[in-house]
């Protein structure tokens, strides 16, 4: 009697916002016809959107952590936290950090980015600014914020040249401003927002609805100054050097900005495990993917999340990237899960992610929400709003999403029902042919 043929293996590389949900959804979509393995460099999932709260101690890091091995085991998903050293696409294997390798039939890359703090001298947690990109960074920022409030000085918050994730910068700016008011020391803290965006509210998306007007209004009301088209040249202890750039790229003005506390989001690049692999990544190390989220050169590799290559909206005086918002990432997840199921059926992948963007930016005592369908213009829907309800909605979303990760489900019935009521889809409605 012949031995039973082993199931094909699908490796999900990364266990962040995209990778964790991808593992659950792929497991459901393939219905036991494939072995699903998650390769991560940590056993824990951290809810990154709550990091700005962690940095001012509105959240304890443990409150936004999910220990993944038992959840993955319950769902029948293999899991390792050894981490990937290198992807070898021509050999269909992932080399792990301990020197061993895992072979795959399909690979889903969901690593997220490497944080390019080194591209600006003095930037980042190892330099003179803090970060909310990782939860341990945010916890470190909270320690420094505790020291800062004992000796209030100017605050600088923003995003460096090449950054592509601007929402958390605006969030943290307003959250810090709210916390300083609560502590009754706001009057002793001049605040400046420094951003590579060509205008306030650009967000890497050329604006959504009236984000320009809404955010400028919020900043004026809170007496926050701003510098746009900003290129940070270097950061020293207590001093940031910034070039303000004209439309033609020439330097308009040099700013030497003193500060006592600063959070600057860095540019991103691809992680070392994939960086520089010809045919797989672009020069920044982001994964090349077609409309079906599949690499055009290695057809058994899919990619989702912040590590996917997306061209910028258009030329800007200072480089500005395109953000990959949470819902946009989830739409990539759903498309990939459906496309892998199609491949297991012997069909060509044909699902296209909607790339719709739904964003809640919390300001501590209010916030701004926007919906962009799709995220990249021109859009079918372009809407933004603000109010105290956004803060409450963000709290509700945090609790909901963490429960989703802890239970091991990608899209509960009530989420699908609510999205359908709002007319928001994860998959693009296409005729499949010729799109």
Kindly list the catalytic residues: 165, 359
| 3-state class percentages of the chain: helix first, strand second, coil last, to nearest 5 | 30, 25, 45
Residue 48: strand, helix, or coil: helix
Q: At what angle do helices 167-182 and 211-221 cross, to 10 degrees?
A: 20
Q: Cα–Cα distances in Å, from 264 out to 31, 156, 157, 219, 240? A: 43, 8, 6, 17, 11
| Whole-number Å distance between alpha carbons of 34 and 246 | 54
Give, for 289, the enclosing helix (H) or strand (E).
Answer: none
Q: Cα–Cα distances in Å, from 7 out to 87, 114, 336? A: 21, 33, 19
Per DSSP, what are the bridge partners of residue 381? 373
Strands 301-303 and 106-109: parallel
Q: Cα–Cα distances in Å, from 323 out to 33, 166, 270, 423? A: 34, 7, 14, 22
| Residue the block writes with tokens 């990937």 | 84
| Whole-number Å distance between alpha carbons of 289 and 301 | 9
Q: Cα–Cα distances in Å, from 31 out to 102, 272, 433? A: 22, 32, 27
| Whole-number Å distance between alpha carbons of 297 and 290 | 10
Do 226 and 194 touch, CB atoms closer than 8 A? yes
| Whole-number Å distance between alpha carbons of 251 and 327 | 37
Provide the CA 28 distance to its chain's centre, in angstroms. Answer: 24
Reading phi first (left if > 0) and then psi (alpha if -120 to 50, else beta), residue 234 is in beta
Do 318 and 230 touch, CB atoms closer than 8 A? yes
Question: Which is nearest to 238 in space by CA: 179, 138, 151?
Answer: 151
| Whole-number Å distance between alpha carbons of 132 and 53 | 9
Question: Which is nearest to 115 in space by CA: 128, 102, 124, 106?
Answer: 124
């Amino acid at each position: 009697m012949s031995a039973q043929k082993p199931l094909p293996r699908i490796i999900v590389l990364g266990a962040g916002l995209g990778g964790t949900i991808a593992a659950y959804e792929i497991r459901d979509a393939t219905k036991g016809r494939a072995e699903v393995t998650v390769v991560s460099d940590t056993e824990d999932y951290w809810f990154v959107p709550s990091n700005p709260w962690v940095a001012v101690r509105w959240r304890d890091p443990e409150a936004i952590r999910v220990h993944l091995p038992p959840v993955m085991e319950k769902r029948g998903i293999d899991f390792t936290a050894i981490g990937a050293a290198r992807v070898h696409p021509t050999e269909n294997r992932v080399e792990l950090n301990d020197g061993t390798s895992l072979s795959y039939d399909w690979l889903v890359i969901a690593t997220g980015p490497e944080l390019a703090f080194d591209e600006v001298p003095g930037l980042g947690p190892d330099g003179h600014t803090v970060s909310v990109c990782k939860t341990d960074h945010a916890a470190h920022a909270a320690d420094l914020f505790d020291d800062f409030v004992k000796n209030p000085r100017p605050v600088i918050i923003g995003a460096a040249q090449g950054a592509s994730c601007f929402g958390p910068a605006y969030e943290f700016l307003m959250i810090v401003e709210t916390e300083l008011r609560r502590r009754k020391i706001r009057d002793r803290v001049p605040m400046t927002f420094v951003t590579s965006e060509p205008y306030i509210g650009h967000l890497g998306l050329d604006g959504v609805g009236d984000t320009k007007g809404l955010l400028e209004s919020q900043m004026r009301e809170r007496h926050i100054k701003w510098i746009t088209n900003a290129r940070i040249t270097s950061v020293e202890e207590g001093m940031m050097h910034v070039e303000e750039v004209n439309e033609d790229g020439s330097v308009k003005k040099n700013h030497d900005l003193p500060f006592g506390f600063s959070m600057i989001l860095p540019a991103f690049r691809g992680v070392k495990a994939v960086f520089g692999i010809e045919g797989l990544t672009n020069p920044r190390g982001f994964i090349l993917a077609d409309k079906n989220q599949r690499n055009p050169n290695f057809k058994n590799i899919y990619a989702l999340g912040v590590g996917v290559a997306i061209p910028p909206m258009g030329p800007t005086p200072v480089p500005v990237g395109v953000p990959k918002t949470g819902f946009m990432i989830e739409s990539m997840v759903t498309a990939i899960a459906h496309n892998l199921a199609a491949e297991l059926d012997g069909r060509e992948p044909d699902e296209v992610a909607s790339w719709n963007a739904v964003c809640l930016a919390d300001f501590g005592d209010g916030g701004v929400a926007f919906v962009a369908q799709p995220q990249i213009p021109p859009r079918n829907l372009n809407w933004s709003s603000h109010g105290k309800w956004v803060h409450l909605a963000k709290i509700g979303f945090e609790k909901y999403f963490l429960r989703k990760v802890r239970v091991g489900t990608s899209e509960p019935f009530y989420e699908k029902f609510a999205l359908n009521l709002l007319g928001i889809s994860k998959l693009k409605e296409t005729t499949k042919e010729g799109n």
